[in-house]
Amino acid sequence: MRPDPLYARYPFFDAAREAVQAADISPRRLVTEGDPAVDRARERVDRALMSGTVESETPDRWSDRDELLSYPIARILVSLVDVRAAVEKYAEAEAATAFDRLTEDFDAADADLRSVSTPRADLPTVLDEFDLDDAVTRLTDGPPSDRDRFRIDVTAYLRLANPDWGADWRLVNRDLADGELSLDRGELDRLLREAVRRRVTEGLPFQVRGSTGGNAIASALDDDVTALHERLSERERLPRVQVVAPDQFPPCMRSILDGDEGGDLPPHTAFAATAFLVSLGLNADAIAGRWPVLDDGTLSDRVTVLDDGETSQYPVPSCTTMQAFGDCVDPDERCETIDNPLRYYAGALADADTSDSRGEAGD
């Protein structure tokens, strides 16, 4: 099977699913024979649950086939885990990764599109994928500042927009004319991200055991499911800290948060720093006000995903993950004794409290 490379980047496309079905590849055979796509699926789900992305830490290891086939196997894994928070995390991670890729594709200049070997998705293709081609119109008249604005049919808007995103998304606060609303590029991207999330969530979780070949698949993946359950409980094992003392932050976080303006951080870096601050009890306004480097236009969305008030909050990425993405900088002696930036911070606070207590006792 030699799939279209575009399907490897966007395996939730209808055509990608049809390509897998046409290839008539048995999930049972893939799982029980240890196909490389199964290893990629394990990583895909683990990265989704722990880091909010399905990007591989070793992308050169996987073929387009592995990427494409890992998607349906990942859905099997998530269904076997059968925890609502896991489904939500997985779907959000797929949507976040797709959003990053789509943004990159849409922003690429025509010259870039011709010069690279990686097929890219254009906006008309994506709109057609989600039945929005007739509902969304790009405005091409007027000054250049207006050419990245769109009109969307109100029915399509109501189908995708969520009032919980904020007052600006409520219909009563939108400019409605002739059954259409005006959108800027960022708002359209937000709706497309939601369309991806819903596409991925649809049908999850599904019954694996009892289906044709399902028992064999479940048995072969039993150890992986157990490991994923343990990973989900990792957040509960991390220390709970509700004190904000930037001087005691680990070196990696101090380095990330040192900037003055938002929009320049890689997505995985912004995610890690936001997860750290959310774990301290900070909301989007507090984070933006104190650390503008994270205020890149998607901060509010990240905070909403990271802290929904329930047990689906992502843990702060581990030191291993920080190292893999090059976000572990200037490690000190304490870094050698911990496995998570939050443990560093809790230890630093405890030591500072001990030092202060000794100082008071000596006075």
Q: For residue range 21-54, what is the model confidence (pLDDT) as tens digits? A: 888 888 999 999 999 999 999 999 998 887 788 9
Q: What is the pLDDT of residue 335?
A: 92
Q: Tell whether 296 is covered by a domain.
A: yes
Average pLDDT, the chain: 85
90's enclosing H/E stretch is helix 84-107
Q: What is the pLDDT of residue 262?
A: 59
Please report which confidence band the pLDDT of residue 141 belongs to, taking 50, 70 and 90 as the band edges.
low
- Provide long-range contacts, Cβ within 8 A and 24+ apart, for 208-215: 208/76, 208/79, 208/80, 213/26, 213/27, 213/28
Residues 81 and 219 placed together within one structural domain of the fold = yes
Please report which confidence band the pLDDT of residue 186 belongs to, taking 50, 70 and 90 as the band edges.
confident
Q: Tell whether 113 is covered by a domain.
A: no
Residues 303 and 334 placed together within one structural domain of the fold = yes
Residues 269 and 194 placed together within one structural domain of the fold = no
Q: Which of 175, 198, 221 is the last residue of a domain?
A: 198
Q: Tell whether 114 is covered by a domain.
A: no
Q: For residue range 100-139, what is the model confidence (pLDDT) as tens digits? A: 888 888 877 444 555 456 678 899 999 999 999 999 998 8
Residues 23 and 37 placed together within one structural domain of the fold = yes
Residues 244 and 289 placed together within one structural domain of the fold = yes
Cβ partners under 8 Å of residue 24, min gap 6: none
Which residues form the domain of 139? 122-198
Q: Which of 198, 217, 251 is the last residue of a domain?
A: 198
Residues 319 and 336 placed together within one structural domain of the fold = yes
Residues 177 and 277 placed together within one structural domain of the fold = no
Residues 44 and 64 placed together within one structural domain of the fold = yes
Q: Tell whether 255 is covered by a domain.
A: yes
Q: Which of 147, 181, 198 is the last residue of a domain?
A: 198
Q: How many domains does the chain divide into? A: 3
